[in-house]
Structure 1
Amino acid sequence: MAVALLYSPPSHISFSSPKPHIFSYNASSHFSRHFNTAQTVRFPSKTRCITPVAEGIISRELSEIYQSCNLWNWRGFNISYLVKGNGPGPPLLLVHGFGASIAHWRRNIDILSEKTTVYAIDLLGFGASDKPPGFTYTMETWAELILDFLAEVVKKPTVLVGNSVGSLACVIAASGMNNKAIVDDWRIKLILPLLWLVDFLLKQRRIASAIFERVKQRENLKNILISVYGNKEAVDDDLVEIIKRPADDDGALDAFVSTVTGPPGPSPVTLMPKISVPVLVLWGDEDPFTPLDGPVGKYFSSLPSKIPNLKLFILPGTGHCPHDDRPDLVHEKLIPWLEQLD
């Protein structure tokens, strides 16, 4: 599942860029903003977030993405981000899903940057961003990070484009990344005791470490990704590297455990009706995590008839990560939608 929406800041926030057209977007009280309290320091633009990669290990395309990243300091943590393009449209902020990073947008950045300025960010705990040991990761934290990034770095009304947990952070809604968020699905109810057991086991450090080490083996990662993608040919060596590389960092295990066992965040049922800005939802018909016939899928399928500002497209032969799975289908829907916002 992928979601795009146009975000404009509250009227009391002023940007140094040209005066934006203000759209109404009222986040829930769980995401109250304090822009002035975030002690942010911009690193020099040439500061690189990842050390050079040995030639031959990954493609040139992926290496260029890694070497184009910068660092931004957020509340004492280093956050990796990329910026490319300078088109006339509203800027985009790409927010990855669980276990992914900036490079997961490898098949989108160049095309979208021809139309506008594209930003992509590594959420705290993922990619090349800091992974503080023992940190408690929540949807609220990631949402605050995104809003601070918009205020401190982008400084313009921005289209937020998220996948999976990135969608959760962008629209402040649960879309299935954490299974406990969707207990109304009979399939989840059936295995709920197993999920509780998994939570318990993951909170045992030794067991969690053993599971994590096994999951991040290249062959296992590839098999997991194949099960998530509709287009199996999209699962290449670069994709495996995109997921595996940050998983080898210190603190990656803590981020994995905290995310999987943590609270799912607010429900989309309560939050979506509050969003009055344009929203585009792209849903793969082979999404195994948030299937169309599940409660979240059925809920979003009903929204276009209830919320006029929302458009929903079902993408055939597509899994949980549409932007990388079948990017042509995503661009076919996303780019015309973006052009209508100009």
Structure 2
Amino acid sequence: MTSLSPVPATSTGYSPQSPVLNVQTWLWRGLPIAYQSQGETGPALVLVHGFGASLGHWRKNVPALASSCRVYAIDLLGFGGSAKPKPQGEVSYTFETWAAQLADFCREVVGSPAFFVGNSIGCIAVMQTAVSAPDWVRGVVLINCSLRLLHDRKRANLPWLQRFGAPLLQQLFTSRWLGQLFFRQFARPATVRKILLQAYGNPEAVTDELIELLMAPAREPGAVDVFLAFTRYSQGPLPEDLLPILPCPALILWGAQDPWEPIALGRQLARFPAVQQFIELPEAGHCPQDEVPEVVNPLIQRWIQTQVTPT
């Protein structure tokens, strides 16, 4: 059963000072899911964040994109203002779970097929949605798609330290006590700032506002369990598994300064037939939508226009 109602920002993990306003909640399988919508006309567009982020990561995109689309930014289960249940039974933090969430969101909230934009792991989630529920996905925009370099099937190609260190760390994280200790050290403003300055090509985009957007959900009950569950998740689909069977067109945008998802590897994804364009963004890092929104927003709008305008 679906429930839609506006909720105060503070009840979804965002501080009253957050730029993320008019956050609403949707009940999915009995669990509250946070989302935001803007725009009255045009094709539907759903924005999906990356690991550790939330719908607030699209705050520089929603207003611009809403001038030509009905825009929805959603928090995946386990992130942002959405529920963070302990993984057990039917609750699992996998791309199949998030794909089911996104497909149901289109059915129950959007009410029509939509274009999807993802960043990082959000790209895998939107591609899995397209493969699992093709009738609800018109096209996907992939922004610095996660290459999942620590996946079980990719570790053989990693340097020795990463090849053996990642599984050891995952094993240590089976201890909730050790995981909590690591998470407390990780989820600090100074640490988050340091990580963002490494990941962003534009250091001016690393603001106190951004850090608070990322930190607020990390303070919520259940955040540690979600973090540990996903860091132990090295199975599931790879982008090169999904792109060959993608039933819709794709646009790939890639920040060339990304230290986590190297653009040289990203370019290899352009060889799949579903990919219509691969566009390099020279000044951006891992999150171009937040670093250079003035570049990213028009690229998304123009590409969607080409998909909806008869030739």
Q: Within 1, Cα distance between the matches of 2:101 and 2:177?
A: 31
- Gap regions ≥5 residues in structure 1: 1-39
Pair 47,140 (structure 1): closer, same or farther in 2 beyond 3 Å: same
Conservation of the 8 A alpha-carbon contact between 2:258 and 2:284: yes
Moved more, 190-199 or 214-223: 190-199
Local SS of the residue matching 1:80: strand
Local SS of the residue matching 2:283: coil
- Gap regions ≥5 residues in structure 2: 132-144
Instruction: Show the counterpart of 1:268.
Output: 239
Q: Within 2, Cα distance between the matches of 1:266 and 1:158?
A: 22
Find out whether 1:302 has 2:271 as its counterpart. Answer: yes
Q: Within 2, Cα distance between the matches of 1:235 and 1:51?
A: 25
Instruction: Show the counterpart of 1:48.
Output: 8
Instruction: Show the counterpart of 1:327.
Output: 293
- Identify which of 196, 200, 206 aligns with 1:229: 200
Q: Within 1, Cα distance between the matches of 2:15 and 2:169?
A: 37
| Cα RMSD, aligned residues only | 2.1
Pair 120,49 (structure 1): closer, same or farther in 2 beyond 3 Å: same
Q: Within 1, Cα distance between the matches of 2:271 and 2:34?
A: 37
Conservation of the 8 A alpha-carbon contact between 2:256 and 2:285: yes
Cα deviation, 1:51-109, whole Å, max 9, x if unaligned, reads: 49776xx4xxx34x2x411110011110001111112x211000000000010001101
Instruction: Show the counterpart of 1:290.
Output: 261
Find out whether 1:85 has 2:56 as its counterpart. Answer: no
Instruction: Show the counterpart of 1:170.
Output: 126
C-alpha displacement of 1:189: 5.3
Conservation of the 8 A alpha-carbon contact between 2:152 and 2:235: yes
Instruction: Give matches, 1:62-211, under 5 Å.
Output: 62-63=18-19, 65=20, 67-87=21-41, 89-135=42-88, 136-172=92-128, 175-177=146-148, 179-180=150-151, 183=154, 186-187=157-158, 190-211=161-182
Residue identity in the other structure for 1:102: L
Local SS of the residue matching 1:219: helix
Residue identity in the other structure for 1:218: P
Pair 54,270 (structure 1): closer, same or farther in 2 beyond 3 Å: closer
C-alpha displacement of 1:327: 1.1
Q: Within 2, Cα distance between the matches of 1:282 and 1:159?
A: 15
Pair 285,139 (structure 1): closer, same or farther in 2 beyond 3 Å: same
C-alpha displacement of 1:122: 0.5
Conservation of the 8 A alpha-carbon contact between 1:93 and 1:158: yes
Local SS of the residue matching 2:264: coil
Identity across the alignment (%): 35
Instruction: Show the counterpart of 1:34.
Output: none
Conservation of the 8 A alpha-carbon contact between 2:150 and 2:234: no
Conservation of the 8 A alpha-carbon contact between 2:254 and 2:279: yes
Q: Within 1, Cα distance between the matches of 2:193 and 2:123?
A: 23
C-alpha displacement of 1:49: 5.2
Residue identity in the other structure for 2:303: W
Cα deviation, 1:142-200, whole Å, max 9, x if unaligned, reads: 11100010011111120111111111100129823562266267445551110011101
Q: Within 2, Cα distance between the matches of 1:187 and 1:308?
A: 28
